[in-house]
Every structure is written in C-alpha cells, then in structure tokens.
Structure 1
Amino acid sequence: MEKLIEYILHFGNLNQQQIDFIKSKATELELKKDDYFSEAGKIPKYIGFVSEGVFRFCYYNNKGEEITYYFISENSFVSDQQKFDAQAAATDYIQAVTDCKMLVFSKKDWDEILNTILDWDKISAKITHKCLTEAMDRRSPLVSEDGTTRYLSFLEKYPMLINRVPLSLVASYLGVTQQSLSRIRKNIR
C-alpha cells in the first residue's frame, strides 16, 4: 500500500485524510499466471496498481495471431483506462505473465475518489499521461529498427523482465519469430 501512495505523491500533494481515503478504497487482488485482468469484449472492472508481477497487453490480428505490444511490472498502474472510464467493452487483453498481486479500484470507488479529493482529476491525468508517454517511448522505435536493435532496446527498457517473461512473448512484442529471436540472442552473446 505504501508503494501506491508513494507513487501517487509524485504527481500531487495529498493530506493524511486523503491518503487514508484512497487506502480505504483499494482492494487487494491476486491473479495467477495467464489469468486476465481485462478481456476484449468485456467492460474493464478495475484500475490496478501492480505490487508484484508482470502483465502484458495483447490483441489478435486479422490472421488470428496473438500480438503482445506492452508490458507492465511492479509499481505501475495497469488498466485499459479509456474503456474503464467510459465503461465500454475492451478491444485488447491484459494478461498476467507471472503470478501477480495488486491493489485495485472499482469504477465506483475510483469515481468516489475523483468526486471527494480536490484535484484528483489533475493527479490522475498526470499519471495517465506518464503511462501513455512511457508506452509510446517504448513502442515507437520498434517500427523502424531491425530485430537485433529492437531486442537490445528491449533489454535496456525492460532489464528486469527478460528472465521473467517467456521468450515467445518477447518475440511477439518485438515483431519477430521465436526462431529469429533465438538467432539474435545467440549472435549477441
């Protein structure tokens, strides 16, 4: 819980009463590896803060291939924010890559925080902006780089994930086959 509060305080000031209110609205949730936090076609139930574990964002392309396009690990918020806010059906999946522990907020509780804490909308907007900026920074170079450069960038941006995420998911994220990733890894050792 303290990591969540520490994270939020980077984006704005809260008094003890506001902190206690946020804590009272958080619920602990554990997901097993391969469980879904959010599924395409369903309305996202929660916004979450990851205490332990790794999640991936993925979708299926028009060929039915599963494409991983983002990873989230500890001390970060995870949500399909736009669909959560609108209470609309998600188009992507958010899946636990490892066993995960998190603090979650239902739409009702998130709205209560928004309606109770002055300037929560500004704090929330800053958090969302940071998450979107990080996603874009991690994703945009992948379009123009070769496989080796993409893999080296992955190692630089996600240093703690390489031993926690299956190589098949890393290959999907990088847009290469698992065989190509094996060759890339072999060539840079």
Structure 2
Amino acid sequence: MEDFNKYTSHINYSPIVDFVLQQGKQTYYKKGDYFSRQGEVCKTMGFVSSGSFRYCCTNSVGENSIVGYTFDHSFVGNYPAFQLQNQSNVDIQALCDCSVYVINYQQMADFYDTNDAHQKLGRRIAETLLWEVYDRMISMYSLTPEERYLEIINRCPDLLKLITLKELASYLLIRPETLSRIRRKVVQK
C-alpha cells in the first residue's frame, strides 16, 4: 500500500530508513495494541517492516474519527508531536500483528545532527508532511465525496482488503450510508 500516504513518493527516505533499521529496536505489536496514545507525549517513531496502523482521534464528546493509516514499509508515529516532544493528538493502533523498528527522540536528533544532508532530509520530511496535510484539507473543500472515494480507490485499489467500509467512510469524512450509495452508483456506471 505504498501509494496511500503520498509523501512517501516525494523524498528519498533511504538514509533514514537504513538508520532506523540499524539503530532501532525491533518491537512487535499485536492487533489492537497502541503505538502511541492521544494525550500522551510522543516519545517514539518507527519503521513498519510488516503490518499496518490506523490513526484515530477522539473529539470532546467521545466520537472517534479515522484520520490516517500507515502500512508495510513506511513510517509510523506522530512526527510533529515527536519532533516537539509534545502530546499526541491521535491514537495510533495496530490493525493486525506488526513488526516495527522503533527509535527515540535522541536517536532521531543525533541522526539529523550528523551532517547537512541529514538536516536537509529532516526539513524535506517536515515540508512534505505539511504539503500532504494541506492537500488533504483542500480536497475536503474542492472534491465531492464521490471524487474523494474514487481518488483513493484508484490510488490504492487494495485498500478495502485491509480496512472496513466504516473506517474508509470515517477517513473520507462521510457517513457509512453515503459511502454505500457512492459505491452502488460507481458500480452502476
């Protein structure tokens, strides 16, 4: 599911991936385990060697919304909260059994301090994550729910093998019934 998070195709992450695989601690998560919790300081980041995670936030009245996913061979963690050593604004939960190479803040800081190329990579990561969040926000205003659905299904045709329709509806900011109508309409075309 390499195309789910668009930022992964805009940067050569191999230096940081190699670092995390060499310096990180391999950690296993069972389905339902949390990588990090909303409201707690985000102390770790990781590289998912196998498995997938969902990012979920809970609002003030206790309603949950899916805000993101991470799949095999990509990073997991709340990068802004991790870099600022701040509280996470999302829960990150394993969707299945996962293997993750985990590093702490000091390890990441040491990596960035190694040389100018690593500093530049850190800046590019932040810029690219900002671009992806902004792009997703704009799509909520500029695309219809059907267009958002088609865009993600065309980009990630196997997505519904990994997540439920209810979760996809939450991610797209629509009701499950609306997603069902959209899917019926698309099939009829």
TM-score of the superposed pair, with normalisation by structure 2: 0.79
Task: After superposing the two structures, state which structure 1 stretch, 177-186 or 127-136, moved more.
Answer: 127-136
Q: Is the 1:57–1:69 contact (alpha carbons within 8 Å) kept by the matching residues of 2?
A: yes
Q: Secondary structure at the match of 1:176?
A: coil
Unaligned runs of 5+ in 1: 1-6
Q: Secondary structure at the match of 1:122?
A: helix
1:137 partnered with 2:146: no
Residue 170 of structure 1 and its aligned partner are, at CA, apart by 0.4
The aligned residue for residue 6 of structure 2 is none
CA RMSD of aligned residues (A): 2.7
Structure 1 residues 150 and 40: CA distance shift in structure 2, 3 A = same
Structure 1 residues 23 and 46: CA distance shift in structure 2, 3 A = same
Residue 164 of structure 1 and its aligned partner are, at CA, apart by 0.5
Identical columns (%): 31
Residue 144 of structure 1 and its aligned partner are, at CA, apart by 3.5
The aligned residue for residue 110 of structure 1 is 108
The aligned residue for residue 152 of structure 1 is 150
Q: Is the 1:30–1:101 contact (alpha carbons within 8 Å) kept by the matching residues of 2?
A: yes
Residue 39 of structure 1 and its aligned partner are, at CA, apart by 0.8
Unaligned runs of 5+ in 2: 1-8
Opposite residue 109 of structure 1, the aligned amino acid is Q
The aligned residue for residue 10 of structure 1 is 12
Opposite residue 154 of structure 2, the aligned amino acid is E
Residue 166 of structure 1 and its aligned partner are, at CA, apart by 1.5
Q: Is the 1:52–1:101 contact (alpha carbons within 8 Å) kept by the matching residues of 2?
A: yes
TM-score of the superposed pair, with normalisation by structure 1: 0.79
Opposite residue 149 of structure 2, the aligned amino acid is Y
The aligned residue for residue 95 of structure 2 is 97
Residue 27 of structure 1 and its aligned partner are, at CA, apart by 1.6
Structure 1 residues 139 and 155: CA distance shift in structure 2, 3 A = farther
Q: Secondary structure at the match of 1:74?
A: coil
1:48 partnered with 2:50: no
1:165 partnered with 2:163: yes
Report the Cα distance in structure 2 between the residues aligned to 1:91 and 1:29, rounded to whole angstroms.
23
Opposite residue 56 of structure 1, the aligned amino acid is R
Counterparts of 1:30-49 in structure 2, within 5 Å, are 30-49=28-47
Q: Tell me the number of residue pairs that the alignment of Structure 1 and Structure 2 aligns.
A: 178
Residue 63 of structure 1 and its aligned partner are, at CA, apart by 3.4
Q: Deviations over 1:111-139 (max 9, x none)?
A: 23233345322112223333332343344
Report the Cα distance in structure 2 between the residues aligned to 1:160 and 1:135, rounded to whole angstroms.
22
Task: After superposing the two structures, state which structure 1 stretch, 34-43 or 54-63, moved more.
Answer: 54-63
Q: Secondary structure at the match of 1:64?
A: coil
